Structure 1
Amino acid sequence: MQEIADNLVNLLNGLIWGKILIWLLVGAGIYFTLRLGLIQLRHFGHTFSVLKGSRQSDEAGISSFQALCTSLAARVGTGNVAGVAVAITLGGPGAIFWMWVIALVGMATGFVEATLAQLFKVRDKNGQYRGGPAYYMEKGLGARWMGVLFCLFLILAFGFVFNSVQANTISGALQGAFGIPLWLSGSAVMILTALIIFGGLRSIARFAELAVPFMAVAYLLMAIGLIVVNIGEIPGILVQIVKSAFGFQEAAAGGMGAAIMNGFKRGLFSNEAGMGSAPNAAASATPYPPHPASQGYVQMAGVFIDTLLICSASAAIILLAGPQPGEGIMLVQNALTNQVGDWGKYFLAVIILFFAFTSIVANYFYAENCLVFLEHNKASGLLVFRLLVLGMVMFGALASLPFVWNLADLFMGLMAITNLIAILLLSNLAIKLARDYNQQRRAGKLPTFDPSQYPEIQARLEPGIWDAPR
């Protein structure tokens, strides 16, 4: 029975990733890049200048900085370390080049989905902002059925499967570095997760705001230190990446095709651009400037930080060390130990703990957001859901998960296809918002959204949601 399930999931993954999603992702990214006039390059500086006012919020929303940190908490996880190692093992060093490509075009995709999520956000029964792909599918496209389908895929992927994967990585890293039994680390992660998720959205946002900058900066500093020490080897490594990317240097499992496939797959798993996950956090923010497009710029920064900085840091650690034994997280641990000594594996174990734990917390928030959309947000329903999530965390810490990794790829692919279809259908609206925002910028004004300028969608917006912020 297990063999049949494995074969079925592998067949579906091959169809979705090999025949549909890769071309849909790349095509959508190029389309948005062209329609938005190379926004990720022309407005790269503004992407980060928007963050200057990102600490502002009101009683209905979290700050833009908290939304960025929450989305980064989900993005920056095992995919940034173990996922990079898997990409290099299966696709050769060239997979890193294609991770960069999917991130670069994905920045435009991230802009569109975050902008739409902000536009169609609502207030929940507690007066807090909620939104995301399910909401713009329902309000923007008039297709609630599509939003329901998306939510089911997201809850299965982020609420259950991804959290098992993250917990498995934590327990494996702690056992490998410190000899901590799997059941003990699993219990500790489960208890810490419970303490945060039972505190609600603002508790999750505050935790992400504190934890994410610390873990990202610590990991980047380690990688920068290694690059500086080995600066003479960097040109050769860059040449190796490019040669492998275009098939001039044999990859581990099939040359250029393997490099593209594994780079794109692991790149999407890491930065989530187009998947429809990060917009759930983007919609919860009080944007500054008070315009939906400002959250588009904030989330573009998230894609850049995740893949072009943190994934590149992992690639540098692996490639500078040369061939090492092991796979996944063990490969990175061995590579770092080779470079800095035994303390490297302890450092990486702590970093992985932060990366994966923050992902668990943010993944839960995404799933809860979809549960609210499905209108199963009663106290008793949320309690049952939280207990199921905690059970999956414990299961993941103890189980061997190759099948679960494949399930994660499957649900992620189904989510991404559903979301990409929606944002392509709504692309004209997102582009109109981007133009409005930048016309106001060029006129020297603070970009401010005026619903009356959009009569075609004004009636579909939450009443009062775009009144002047309090």
Structure 2
Amino acid sequence: MESLHSFLNMLDGHLGGAFWFPYVLLGVGLFFTIYLKFPQVRYFKHAWKVVTGKYDRKGAPGDTTHFRALATALSGTVGTGNISGVAFAIYLGGPAALFWMWATAFLGMTTKFVEVTLSHKYRVQTEDGTMAGGPMYYMDRRLNMKWLAVAFAIATVISSFGTGNLPQSNGIASSIEATFGFEPWIVGSVLGIFLALVILGGIQRIAAVTSKIVPFMAVLYVIGAFAVIFANLENIGPAFASIVGDIFTGSSAAGGFLGATIAYAFNRGVNRGLFSNEAGQGSAPIAHAAAKADEPVSEGMVSILEPFIDTIMICTLTGLVILSSGVWQEKHQNTFERASLTIVAGEYQQDVDADRHALFEFLNEVDGHSVEPFNGTIEVVNGKAVSDGFTIIHARSIAEDVRFSVATEEDPYTGTLKITQGNLEKDNIVLSGKSLVHSAALTTIAFTRGFFGDFGQYIVSIGLLLFAFSTAIAWSYYGDRAMTYLLGPRSVMPYRVIYVAGFVWASFSDTELVWALASVAIVVMTLPNLFGIMMLRKEMKASVATYWEDFHKQHPKE
């Protein structure tokens, strides 16, 4: 298992984690934005009219309405990325990372428009009478690349577990346990029953449920966010100033935050933006293919709204909550994760400029930095280090009040600890203390700095539950459409049963290997999809022109 995990991480490093991947994704979005003359701006108002059903025709083929298809797609994207993804981007790259999330969403609006239109155009009606669509169908039926379509469909099935199922279940169970104290297996079992009741009913029930969950969870989250924003209104101006002002300079040190370079903020902002709205991944077109529409471009119009709602609206609210409350630069008591922990040689102080600069270069991977990993031993007495010559870095900050404990007994540790290349060799030692926090924990703390006080943390917990659960619902549909393409409609029910079982299992299990597998699968979905829509760029442009010709004939006054 460890060898497989290492191999997957290595593979991801050459694919999704590679420096060129964000440029490819943004490049395709920029190309289509210019090629189609900024459709995300020109067609934005029209998209809202389409989603309200103003231009719907009776008897149009499909399984659900424009709005419900949008809600299903949004439920797949509006999830943990909006709560933890934004916090993670700011923690890594500072306020400027939020700007790059906006840029990614703006270009992603066009990418969604293109991929949804083409996928809807080549959708098919299956044996059971339902619609099936997605990039695999245009790859097969239009590009005649069956092998590419099969690879995409297999990657979609894997991603349905690795992105939409197992990590979501694990995240919900962990959050509910931390907030309310319920055992993870109980949470997983109860939610597993609800999940089964929803997804076994097919797209119509999935769309009906998500069309109610998505608006409710969005309203709840927005109320909680504004409670913090209005409580810290005097900080909103400086927050926007730091977002825009740091774009071309990088984010400077503030509080426990040691700063980030332009390149680091760009990479992390783009990466989190793509994780949040999935533009270019090819997942949302599968949901939109079920919409009742005669004209594929009309459904493409609807999809323009997704990155706007997901990233520009909801992620911005999360970002403003974190920045205006100031928690992103504060150190908080927490247990240190090994993945975010390193021990460096030498003693560094946060209030010394030279020390901050040296650590800034180290954390931002600047070539030629002077900081080296610590090799040697640390003497610990009653949970406190009594030797010197090292500095503990956790969550990209200098850790304070560090306590060493024995994991199995939670007792203070006494003895000698060997450190090799900055890593603690003993597995059963747990470190805790004050450091920066990130992801959902950072957002949770930020939500307590508003009018609701400590009650704000429950809004985040409930939001995480609803966001993650709706994501699991949406991805079950993506997976079953991929199974329909690969093995036919009869394979869908066994897939759904395994999907529900996996959801329950993941609530109390380690899903680290699945995350690694999903990271690779997402790239295997994204790259073929981007290649395909670039191949069909001329067809896309012609389809848009034809749509407007027909539209103006039918609606001459608009």
TM-score by length of 2: 0.75
Report Cα offsets for 1:147-172 as digits up to 9, x if no partner: 11000111001134431111111112
Contact residue 60 and residue 127 of structure 1 kept, 8 A: no
Report Cα offsets for 1:71-106 as digits up to 9, x if no partner: 001011111111111111222222111111110001
The residue number in structure 1 matching 2:532 is: 422
| More helix as a share of residues | 1
Go from structure 1 to structure 2 and tell me whether the alpha carbon gap of 1:189 and 1:253 turns closer, same or farther (over 3 Å shift). farther
Residue 390 of structure 1 aligns with an amino acid whose one-letter code is V
* RMSD value, Cα: 2.1
In the TM superposition, residue 397 of structure 1 has moved relative to its aligned partner by 1.4
2-structure distance, mates of 1:396, 1:241: 37
Go from structure 1 to structure 2 and tell me whether the alpha carbon gap of 1:253 and 1:419 turns closer, same or farther (over 3 Å shift). farther
The residue number in structure 1 matching 2:12 is: 13
Contact residue 334 and residue 345 of structure 1 kept, 8 A: yes
1:311 aligns with 2:315: yes
Contact residue 221 and residue 459 of structure 2 kept, 8 A: no
Q: 2:470 aligns with which of 358, 372, 388?
A: 358
Q: Secondary structure at the match of 1:180?
A: coil
Q: Which moved more, 1:352-361 or 1:53-62?
A: 53-62
The residue number in structure 1 matching 2:142 is: 140
The residue number in structure 2 matching 1:123 is: 125
Go from structure 1 to structure 2 and tell me whether the alpha carbon gap of 1:388 and 1:252 turns closer, same or farther (over 3 Å shift). farther
Residue 349 of structure 1 aligns with an amino acid whose one-letter code is S
Residue 536 of structure 2 aligns with an amino acid whose one-letter code is L
The residue number in structure 2 matching 1:70 is: 72
Go from structure 1 to structure 2 and tell me whether the alpha carbon gap of 1:382 and 1:63 turns closer, same or farther (over 3 Å shift). same
Q: Secondary structure at the match of 2:520?
A: helix
Q: Secondary structure at the match of 2:449?
A: helix
In the TM superposition, residue 110 of structure 1 has moved relative to its aligned partner by 0.4
Report Cα offsets for 1:271-313 as digits up to 9, x if no partner: 11110000001111112xx311111110111121011111112
1:398 aligns with 2:532: no
The residue number in structure 1 matching 2:392 is: none
In the TM superposition, residue 440 of structure 1 has moved relative to its aligned partner by 3.4
| More strand as a share of residues | 2
2-structure distance, mates of 1:156, 1:124: 22
2-structure distance, mates of 1:138, 1:301: 28
The residue number in structure 2 matching 1:33 is: 33
Q: Secondary structure at the match of 1:221?
A: helix
The residue number in structure 2 matching 1:455 is: none
1-structure distance, mates of 2:439, 2:470: 19
1:302 aligns with 2:311: no
In the TM superposition, residue 141 of structure 1 has moved relative to its aligned partner by 0.5
Q: Which moved more, 1:434-443 or 1:299-308?
A: 434-443
2-structure distance, mates of 1:249, 1:346: 31
In the TM superposition, residue 438 of structure 1 has moved relative to its aligned partner by 2.2
Q: 1:266 aligns with which of 269, 272, 286?
A: 272
Q: Which moved more, 1:369-378 or 1:73-82?
A: 369-378
Q: 1:97 aligns with which of 75, 91, 99?
A: 99
Contact residue 103 and residue 308 of structure 1 kept, 8 A: yes
In the TM superposition, residue 253 of structure 1 has moved relative to its aligned partner by 7.3
Q: Which moved more, 1:112-121 or 1:311-320?
A: 311-320
Contact residue 220 and residue 309 of structure 1 kept, 8 A: no
2-structure distance, mates of 1:22, 1:90: 16
The residue number in structure 1 matching 2:438 is: 327
Report Cα offsets for 1:163-209 as digits up to 9, x if no partner: 11111111121112111111111111211111111111111111111
2-structure distance, mates of 1:236, 1:342: 25
The residue number in structure 2 matching 1:207 is: 209
Give the count of matched residue pairs. 442
Gap regions ≥5 residues in structure 2: 333-436
2-structure distance, mates of 1:76, 1:311: 9
Contact residue 117 and residue 132 of structure 1 kept, 8 A: yes
2-structure distance, mates of 1:259, 1:24: 17
In the TM superposition, residue 443 of structure 1 has moved relative to its aligned partner by 4.8
2-structure distance, mates of 1:85, 1:206: 31
1-structure distance, mates of 2:323, 2:477: 35
The residue number in structure 2 matching 1:281 is: 287
Contact residue 251 and residue 259 of structure 2 kept, 8 A: no
Greater relative contact order (Cα < 8 A, sep 6+)? 1
Q: Secondary structure at the match of 2:308?
A: helix
Residue 24 of structure 2 aligns with an amino acid whose one-letter code is L
2-structure distance, mates of 1:137, 1:27: 21
The residue number in structure 2 matching 1:49 is: 49
2-structure distance, mates of 1:91, 1:443: 50
Structure with higher Rg: it is: 2
Contact residue 251 and residue 260 of structure 2 kept, 8 A: no
Q: Secondary structure at the match of 2:15?
A: helix
Q: Which moved more, 1:157-166 or 1:121-130?
A: 157-166
Q: 1:192 aligns with which of 184, 191, 194?
A: 194
In the TM superposition, residue 383 of structure 1 has moved relative to its aligned partner by 3.2
2-structure distance, mates of 1:384, 1:444: 45
Contact residue 85 and residue 327 of structure 1 kept, 8 A: yes
1-structure distance, mates of 2:272, 2:57: 34
In the TM superposition, residue 43 of structure 1 has moved relative to its aligned partner by 2.1
2-structure distance, mates of 1:8, 1:446: 59
Contact residue 162 and residue 515 of structure 2 kept, 8 A: no
In the TM superposition, residue 427 of structure 1 has moved relative to its aligned partner by 1.4
Residue 175 of structure 2 aligns with an amino acid whose one-letter code is A
Q: Which moved more, 1:383-392 or 1:350-359?
A: 383-392
Residue 383 of structure 1 aligns with an amino acid whose one-letter code is M
In the TM superposition, residue 445 of structure 1 has moved relative to its aligned partner by 3.1
Residue 333 of structure 1 aligns with an amino acid whose one-letter code is T
Residue 31 of structure 2 aligns with an amino acid whose one-letter code is Y
Go from structure 1 to structure 2 and tell me whether the alpha carbon gap of 1:387 and 1:39 turns closer, same or farther (over 3 Å shift). same
In the TM superposition, residue 330 of structure 1 has moved relative to its aligned partner by 1.5
Go from structure 1 to structure 2 and tell me whether the alpha carbon gap of 1:76 and 1:234 turns closer, same or farther (over 3 Å shift). same
1-structure distance, mates of 2:5, 2:260: 22
Report Cα offsets for 1:13-60 as digits up to 9, x if no partner: 222232442121111000100111011112221121212217777574
Contact residue 199 and residue 206 of structure 2 kept, 8 A: yes
Contact residue 96 and residue 315 of structure 1 kept, 8 A: yes
1-structure distance, mates of 2:177, 2:249: 38
Q: Secondary structure at the match of 1:245?
A: coil
Residue 407 of structure 1 aligns with an amino acid whose one-letter code is L
Q: Secondary structure at the match of 1:192?
A: helix
1-structure distance, mates of 2:156, 2:146: 15
Q: Secondary structure at the match of 1:53?
A: coil
Q: Secondary structure at the match of 1:337?
A: coil
Residue 11 of structure 2 aligns with an amino acid whose one-letter code is L
1-structure distance, mates of 2:72, 2:162: 18
Q: Percent identity?
A: 33
1-structure distance, mates of 2:268, 2:511: 19
The residue number in structure 2 matching 1:169 is: 171
Residue 346 of structure 1 aligns with an amino acid whose one-letter code is Y
The residue number in structure 2 matching 1:461 is: none
In the TM superposition, residue 402 of structure 1 has moved relative to its aligned partner by 4.2
In the TM superposition, residue 11 of structure 1 has moved relative to its aligned partner by 2.5
Report Cα offsets for 1:350-373 as digits up to 9, x if no partner: 111110101001000000001001
Contact residue 250 and residue 260 of structure 2 kept, 8 A: no
Contact residue 250 and residue 265 of structure 2 kept, 8 A: no
Residue 91 of structure 2 aligns with an amino acid whose one-letter code is T
